[in-house]
Amino acid sequence: MLEDIIDSKIDSSILSFFLTAPERSFSVTELSKRLGMPYLKTAHSVNKLASFGALRLFSKKAKKYYLINSKYKLLPEMKSFWLKSGPKYQDELFTAIKHLGDIKAAFLSGIFCGHTSLPVDILLVGRVNLNKLSDFLKAAQKMMGQEINYSVMSVKEFEQRRDTFDRFIKDIFDYRHLTVVDELVRKRK
């Protein structure tokens, strides 16, 4: 079965990328740019990997996104193989978020995690440079092919809303999310 999935260099490169990158969603456009592959070949390969069950496909506003399927039966075998053979991929999105200002916590949710109905895709906690944020959002929206819903909160507001089980905060943490930065958790321990 694994041989059926990895029968080409493009399939292997894309699967390797998904296994070593942070577990967030990627559009075909972003994948083809990041991996330096032709768009149509990338689209064919991710659709094939999704049909085998290795990737999960979801859509928002007619735009397709792909995530590694955490329930795929061969995932542990594939991860152990690829993680031995190379370094983890450093996500440019994570790096850019860390440079938006004095960020104390940052979480990816919504479109980045396959939950298109959630109200926010990025939650930033701390002091944010608005010029950098504007540039970042333009680049992220171009990369994802969608408007990115975001929220910025002070540390005090975030902690208060988290401690009172605010619905907005609860929705982020009740569903799959990715932590980019979280200095607030370390302070509590």
pLDDT at 22 > cutoff 70: yes
Provide the b/e sequence for 126-157 (b: ≥16 CB within 10 Å). Answer: bebeeeebeebeeebeebbbbebebbbbebee
Q: What would the mean pLDDT of 173-189 be, rounded to a whole number? A: 79
Write out the two tokens for 48. Answer: 């094939």
pLDDT at 13: 85
For domain 2-84, give its CATH number from 1.10.10.10, 3.40.50.1820, 1.20.1250.20, 3.90.550.10: 1.10.10.10
Q: What would the mean pLDDT of 78-83 be, rounded to a whole number? A: 72
pLDDT at 5 > cutoff 70: no
pLDDT at 6 > cutoff 90: no
The residue among 92 and 25 whose pLDDT is bigger is: 25
Nearest to 148 by CA among 171, 114, 121, 123: 121
Q: What would the mean pLDDT of 29-47 be, rounded to a whole number? A: 92
Q: In this predicted model, what pLDDT tens digit does every residue of 85-111 receive, in sequence order?
A: 655 677 888 899 999 999 999 999 999
H helices of the chain, where? 2-5, 9-20, 28-35, 39-52, 75-85, 92-98, 130-144, 155-163, 167-174, 183-188
Domains of the chain by residue range: 2-84, 93-188
